Amino acid sequence: MANRTAFLFWRIILCMITGALAPLSLAPFDYWYLGGVSVAILFILLHNCTPRAGAWLGWCYGLGFFGAGVSWVFVSIHEHSNASGLLAGSMTALFVAALALLFALQGWLYSRFFRNVAGFCALWIAFEWLRSWLFTGFPWLYLGYGLIDTPLAIFAPLGGVWLLSLYVVLSSTLLVTFFKRLKHPLQAATILMTVGLPLIAVQQHQIPQSWTLPVGEPVSVMAVQANIPQQQKWQRGELEHILQTYVDLSLDSDKVDLLIWPETAIPTFYPKARVMLSPFTERLEESHTAMISGIPTVYIDSEQPKGKRYTNSLTLFAGGSGNYDKQRLVPFGEYVPLERQLRGIIDFFDLPMSEFSLGSPDQPLLEAAGSQIAPFICYEIAYPELVRQQSLSSDLLLTVSNDTWFGHSSAPAQHLQIARMRALETGRWLIRSTNNGISALISPDGNISTTVPQYQQAVMIGEVQRMQGLTPYQEWGIKPLQVVTGLMLLFGLFTAPRRRQSRKGF
């Protein structure tokens, strides 16, 4: 009995370590092969498990996966809400444990109904998709992001990040199966051919390098990275200083077509900001420079308790008119679930501007500098389908963010990697403007064209190109992959090996 308990204990520990390997395949570490290693070990650990054991091992894997991948949540709670290290650590652990329940369910379903490659891979993709919308969604840490700097990234315009995730999971589980089938040469050869076909297609240039085409002249861009401390940003006495900082950093903006200030760069509402910035915006109008800035917006709404509704927005201050209200809000950062119960308990539940409302899903694109710009605010860029839908009529993508919340953690690098994937999926140039980094201009192949140092005041100047046409992923979205996943689930269900009777318990 003691030996069995020790074996289960070490199996659980191994599962947590295995889960922690997967985020190392993503930015800022970029050990892309560790995603496949992590999946392969989990596939082995789940072999012949009871459903109960599958659920526990899945949960432990999830603890390692999310514990290593989103530990930056601790930074935002501890450093920006006066929460003690113990309290912030406890809240982060609770968040990770709740997310890990998805892997627990995934492990239970696999052990109960499938126990084969097709079922394992289809469930993985189904649960990545589930995380893109369940409880408003947490579309983070998809394994496909780890392939963005490999030759296989060329498949992203075909099926998005989920297609790359499918390759990671399928190839790693098939390679495990390959070693089991070495005594059956034909089966082993078939497995190797399946894994190698995408690589051969890339090597033989069977996949188009680009699905979209440039149109018109390049657009010159200036993005201001003011590096305003989060503690200073919402203090009323700092408003004039903050605006002047942005204006001073934007002195050469009359030489570019488009000026971008990041998320909530202006910590007041439009009417007041418009008056305070009027001398500057008048100069921009004279030089035909368009200016877009992040700013909170207030609407009169009798249905709201206070008669007003607030949104996190992007607004044109010069070179046109237009406004975009954020459609995906960060829980506890921009709105508080169970608000009546949680408000006032700790500062984290009373962060400035944490009463935002959702913007309408049907909003026009921003028109500036002769471009149709699809805008996204911070967290929204992580939603593949939202970006796909918004980008259909666009020729440029724009995302603004304030990653100051996450300090020197891995979050800003993960966020940038996600933005790179959106540019690759849509075949569009993407402008990323942030308060403290990582600001960047990203080309349609997902590569960074221009960037500036992180955690300091800087001005990024470069050119982007308007693009026309649609990638297959833009046109069809995740639907083809959902069909494939559904067929794999059915195949896995009907070909599942008969489960042996096992002892009750873990």
User: Which is catalytic among the residues 128, 263, 380, 425?
Assistant: 263
The 10 Å CB-count burial string (b at 16+, else e) for 231-244 is: eebbeeebbeebbe
Residue given tokens 């030759």 in the structure block: 151
15, pLDDT greater than 70: yes
Of 460, 458, 467, the closest CA to residue 432 belongs to: 460
Q: Is 263 one of the catalytic residues?
A: yes
Q: Is 15 one of the catalytic residues?
A: no
Residue given tokens 């942030």 in the structure block: 434
CB atoms within 10 A of CB 338: 8
Q: Which residue has the higher pLDDT, 303 or 241?
A: 241
pLDDT in tens, 165-219: 999 999 999 999 998 888 888 888 888 888 898 988 888 878 888 999 999 999 9
CA–CA separation, 210 vs 448, rounded Å?
16
Of 363, 383, 366, 362, the closest CA to residue 293 belongs to: 366
Mean pLDDT (whole number) for 125-145: 95
Query: What pLDDT, on the 0 to 100 scale, is given for residue 204?
Result: 81
The 3-state DSSP class for residue 331 equals strand
- β 366-368/371-377 pair status: antiparallel
Q: For residue 307, report the phi and psi dihedrals to the nearest 5 degrees.
A: 75, 5
| CATH 3.60.110.10 domain range(s) in the chain | 215-470
Q: Concatenate the DSSP letters of all residues of 359-403 into one string.
A: PPS--PPEEETTEEEEEEEGGGGG-HHHHHHHHTT-SEEEEEE-G
Sign of the dihedral through C-alpha 362, 366, 371, 374: negative
Mean pLDDT (whole number) for 284-293: 97
Q: Concatenate the DSSP letters of all residues of 69-110 into one string.
A: HSTTHHHHHHHHS---HHHHHHHHHHHHHHHHHHHHHHHHHI
**pLDDT band at residue 336, thresholds of 50, 70 and 90?**
low
Cα dist from 483 to 14, 125, 361, 480, whole Å:
34, 12, 26, 5
pLDDT in tens, 142-166: 999 999 999 999 999 999 999 999 9
285, pLDDT greater than 90: yes
Residues in the chain: 506
**pLDDT band at residue 341, thresholds of 50, 70 and 90?**
very low
Query: What pLDDT, on the 0 to 100 scale, is given for residue 354?
Result: 56
Q: Concatenate the DSSP letters of all residues of 448-473 into one string.
A: EEEE--SSS-EEEEEEE--EES--HH
User: Which is catalytic among the residues 49, 60, 121, 378?
Assistant: 378
pLDDT in tens, 431-459: 999 999 899 999 999 999 999 999 999 99
pLDDT in tens, 67-119: 999 999 888 888 777 778 898 899 899 999 999 999 999 999 999 999 999 99
What residues contact 329, with CB distance under 8 A and at least 6 apart? 136, 312, 335, 356, 358, 379
Query: What pLDDT, on the 0 to 100 scale, is given for residue 281?
Result: 96
Mean pLDDT (whole number) for 468-481: 97
The 10 Å CB-count burial string (b at 16+, else e) for 149-177 is: eeebbbbbbbbbbbbbbbbbbbbbbbbbb
Percent of the chain with pLDDT over 70: 92
Query: What pLDDT, on the 0 to 100 scale, is given for residue 236?
Result: 85
Q: Is 272 one of the catalytic residues?
A: no
Q: Which residue has the higher pLDDT, 13 or 334?
A: 13
**pLDDT band at residue 334, thresholds of 50, 70 and 90?**
low
Q: Which residues sit opposite 433 in a β-bridge?
A: 400
**pLDDT band at residue 233, thresholds of 50, 70 and 90?**
confident
Query: What pLDDT, on the 0 to 100 scale, is given for residue 486?
Result: 97
Are 320 and 344 in contact by the 8 Å Cβ rule? The answer is no
Q: For residue 369, report the phi and psi dihedrals to the nearest 5 degrees.
A: 55, 35
Helices and strands: H and E segment counts in the chain: 17, 14
pLDDT in tens, 234-278: 888 999 999 999 999 999 999 999 999 999 999 999 999 999 999
pLDDT in tens, 20-74: 999 999 999 999 999 999 999 999 999 989 999 999 999 999 999 999 999 998 8
Query: What pLDDT, on the 0 to 100 scale, is given for residue 133?
Result: 93
Cα dist from 281 to 251, 323, 367, 398, whole Å:
11, 16, 17, 20
**pLDDT band at residue 302, thresholds of 50, 70 and 90?**
confident
Q: Which of 169-173, 326-330, 396-400, 489-493 bottoms out in mean pLDDT, i.e. has the lowest?
A: 326-330
Average per-residue pLDDT for the chain: 91
Torsion angle of C-alpha atoms 44, 46, 50, 52, degrees rounded to 10: 160
Sign of the dihedral through C-alpha 125, 91, 18, 140: positive
49: tokens are 């498990």
Query: What pLDDT, on the 0 to 100 scale, is given for residue 352?
Result: 54
291: tokens are 């200016």
User: Which is catalytic among the residues 326, 334, 355, 425?
Assistant: 326
CA–CA separation, 157 vs 142, rounded Å?
16
Of 411, 387, 413, 363, the closest CA to residue 157 belongs to: 387
Query: What pLDDT, on the 0 to 100 scale, is given for residue 189?
Result: 86
DSSP symbol at 45:
H
∠ CA(256), CA(262), CA(264), 5° rounding?
135
CB atoms within 10 A of CB 190: 14
Backbone φ/ψ region at 437: left (φ over 0), alpha (ψ -120 to 50), beta: left
DSSP symbol at 356:
B
Query: What pLDDT, on the 0 to 100 scale, is given for residue 505?
Result: 46
429, pLDDT greater than 60: yes
Q: Which CATH architecture has domain 215-470?
A: 4-Layer Sandwich (3.60)
173: tokens are 């589980």
